[in-house]
A = this chain, B = another copy of it.
Amino acid sequence: MLKNDRYIKAALSQPVDKTPVWMMRQAGRYLPEYRELRAKAGDFMALCTNPELACEVTLQPLRRYELDAAILFSDILTIPDAMGLGLYFKTGEGPAFKKPINDINDINQLFVPDVFDKLKYVTDAVSTIRKNLNNETPLIGFSGSPWTLATYMVEGGTTKNFGKVKGMMFSEPAAMHQLLDVLAKSVTAYLNAQIEAGAQAVMLFDTWGGVLSTRDYQAFSLQYMQQIINGLIREKDGNKIPVTLYSKGGAGWLEKMAETGADCIGLDWTIDIDLARARIGDKVALQGNMDPCILYSTPELIEQEVADILAKYGNGSGHVFNLGHGIHPTIAPENVKAYVDAVHQYSKQYHR
């Protein structure tokens, strides 16, 4: 039995005593203990692929802050790496692939990786973290969305204008659908393996869905996330496994996202949470949505912002407090404490 099940309950829109809180990228570079471990380990993937180190990094922020969930420490590009694209990290430039996807011939070579073999380091990390969490707080598993993975695979790394991947989408839509289908099948197997290994909730990160038009978002991103949600294990050992769907820049499509059957929809900060609740709050829980840059200011301003967002959401459950995107590496750790504590302190009044 989970001692702190506030996150699970809120993501399922069930009553809670306080609004739960966590942060995207809560295990990461803003923490000196993370930077120290990473320097010792050598590089980022050395942390990801070693279950003991991934566990240690996952737990670091929970020792400092009263977070209501842990999230698996891993990279969103583990699946394309397992498909043989050769993930590596250029210093200061982010992730890149040695063998990017250029055409239908490359796509024809791809197959769903054996997640219990090629991605065993991830499921091993999940079970190690679960053991070490000792049922104190739940563990969230995650994956990038098919469209988001495809952007990196076709561009060969990060991109400013998405010309290659969108060029392929418009010029060779059948090839793009084939790529997204194999990715959707892979993500489904990957998330289910994380659930079998002990993840008590899962989240789909559609970081780049927002670069598409409404029509193309539905056809090339949302459709494949729907396919994944349809195939996910939703209950294990009598416990529901909440699913959170997050499309950065997706404010225009909240109703469509809510119709997928996800339990919780992640919001970035460009939409007010009261408007989002009015639109879809009767169907799903909402996660978000403080601008991560607020954390550059002072504890007093952070508390004020947290209180404002809680007041906008208003009474009742169905709110998982989070940033609208990942915490930046240059944030002062003491400001994170102000954020976490303020959510618990100011939210009690909305759960009477």
Residue numbers of A with Cβ under 8 A of B are 161-163, 166-167, 169-171, 210-216, 249, 251-252, 269-272, 291-294, 296-298, 301, 328, 330
Contact = CB atoms under 8 A, between A and B. Distances in A.
Nearest to A163: B328
24 contacts: A161-B292, A163-B330, A166-B291, A166-B293, A167-B293, A167-B296, A170-B291, A170-B294, A170-B296, A170-B297, A170-B301, A171-B296, A210-B270, A212-B270, A213-B269, A213-B270, A213-B272, A213-B291, A214-B271, A214-B272, A249-B270, A251-B251, A252-B252, A252-B270
Given A166-B293, A214-B271, A251-B251, 13 more contacts: A163-B293, A163-B296, A163-B330, A167-B297, A169-B293, A170-B294, A170-B297, A171-B296, A210-B270, A212-B291, A213-B291, A251-B252, A252-B271
A299 B272 CA distance: 40
Contacts of A330: 163
Nearest to A294: B170
Contacts of A297: 167, 170-171
Nearest to A268: B213
A91 to B, nearest CB: 15
Most buried by B among A167, A249, A251: A167
Top 3 A-B pairs, shortest CB-CB distance? A167-B296, A166-B293, A170-B297
A291 B297 CA distance: 36
A291 to B, nearest CB: 6
A293 B249 CA distance: 18
A167 B344 CA distance: 24
Contact of A214 (B161, B163, B270): B270
Most buried by B among A215, A270, A292: A270
Contacts of A292: 161
Contacts of A214: 270-272
Contacts of A301: 170-171
A151 to B, nearest CB: 12
Contacts of A270: 210-214, 249, 252
Contacts of A169: 293
Nearest to A330: B163
Given A161-B328, A212-B270, A293 B252 contact: no
A341 to B, nearest CB: 19
Most buried by B among A166, A169, A170, A215: A170
